[in-house]
Amino acid sequence: MTDSTRKWWALAAVGSGVFMSTIDGSIVNIALKTLQETFQTGLNTVEWVVLSYLLTITALLLSMGRLGDMIGKRRVYLAGFIIFTIGSALCSLAWDINSLIGFRVVQGVGAAMVQSMGAALLVNAFPAKERGQALGYIGSIVAAGISVGPALGGILIRSFGWQSIFYVNIPVGILAIMISLYALPNDRQRTTQRFDIPGAGFLAVSLLLILLALTEGQYWGWSDWRILAFFAFGIVGLLLFVWWEHRTDAPMINLSIFSNWTFSASLLSSLGAFLALSFNLFLMPFYLQNALGYDPQQAGFVLIATPLALSLSSPISGRLSDRFGTRWLAISGLVVSALGLFSMTTLTTESTTMGVFNRLLLIGAGVGFFQSPNNSAVMGNAPPSALGIAESLISIMRTIGQTGGIALAGAVWAARVTAAAGESYDPINAAPPEALVAGLHDAMMLAAGFCLIAIIPTWLRSQRADQDMVVERSTP
């Protein structure tokens, strides 16, 4: 297999994994209302079908990235496929909400292994001058998975029940494993390095405690002693992690990587962007189904708008970033995304399908123009020996943003709906449509603000480093 052929097979292998993980997330989001009704549980409980998955990924990503850098990215990637597929089968057999949440943790373990290796495998397969293009293709595949998920999920739920949304991962997972076995070179390594178990433990537990505080604070109360304890022990754990990484001979992360401001600033921008965008991802299915009265299938087709725009804009922004740099493209994407989120504050209980669709298109176009250049800036400023760690950090910023954003969106939405309705509703979807829309307006205003704040680190990062990346990629 020639190098030019190998890179496209590598894209197919990585793309199939990305497609599998994104289709799962988007299918589950459209099913939340159905799961809430099926298991007769509240919003705070059904959120954990999403949050348990994201928490597991966040806690394990860096460990898996480090493991891939040590023993071979292909081995970790393939193992992740297998675990994720098994987890999907188990989710379809769940007998109550608690078992479903538990099996989602199994899925999360596999997803952490897949997500920590995807971009690193691609960066190795494509030449530097095509890095942005390759990551742009991945952005389109992400969009395809998100596009197919809501529509397919709506059809499956309506026709076969909620269990079928997990069955769909099984054939996709098997196909992905077969392609990966054929396409990805065996990069198995022999190393005398030790895996940093204490560092992995400090980091995983710290992130878990902080994210638990963020997700449960809205229900237990932010001044509750348990929430304060989670925050306190989480912060102490992160400090212990930094202390240990400086002390040990084989750290999980060489902390000097963060001295590159372009690398660090791009990660900060990613965190802010996904914090903002998770408001839209979490709240729009509830708005469409509860305020406008759409069924899951109708809602799924409307939600295609964002990933559709992302799939069109992502390859374009990837190619442009290879030629002109990443900084201004990322800023323009954040501005467009903020405008799209702000436009949600004009929705009503009588908004038309096209009115909602066009707003979602605007958000998707902004995400596409931001994500590919920003990810390219991260990977382009990471040392070759730490590509697995760099990809893991991108995914951690995304999952922390999504987890914190979902928790914050749920808290703001519930509080503002209660204020607008004049009384408390449990579950929240029993509130009047007008109150739901009023809560949506306040939440989306906050989301647009977060998106604008994410511009700051991108604006401040080194323009010289950006120009150097363009020169590097233009060199044959």
State how far the Cα of 201 lies from the Cα of 77, in Å rounded to an integer.
21
pLDDT by residue for the chain (476 residues), tens only, comes to 555 677 777 788 888 777 777 777 667 877 887 888 888 887 778 878 887 887 888 788 788 888 887 777 888 888 998 999 999 999 989 888 999 999 999 998 998 888 777 767 776 777 766 766 676 777 677 666 766 776 777 788 888 888 888 887 888 788 888 888 877 777 666 655 677 788 888 888 888 888 788 777 767 777 889 999 999 999 999 999 889 988 887 787 778 888 888 888 899 998 999 889 888 888 898 889 888 988 877 887 888 888 788 878 877 887 788 777 788 888 999 999 999 999 999 999 999 999 999 999 999 899 888 888 888 888 778 777 676 678 778 877 877 787 778 778 887 888 888 887 776 555 455 678 888 888 899 999 999 999 999 999 988 875 555 544 444 444 44
Q: How far is CA 209 from the centre of its chain?
A: 19
Q: What is the pLDDT of residue 230?
A: 92
Q: Where are the domains of the chain?
A: 3-186+250-474, 196-249
Domain 3-186+250-474 has CATH 1.20.1250.20: yes
Q: What is the pLDDT of residue 112?
A: 86
Q: What is the pLDDT of residue 429?
A: 56
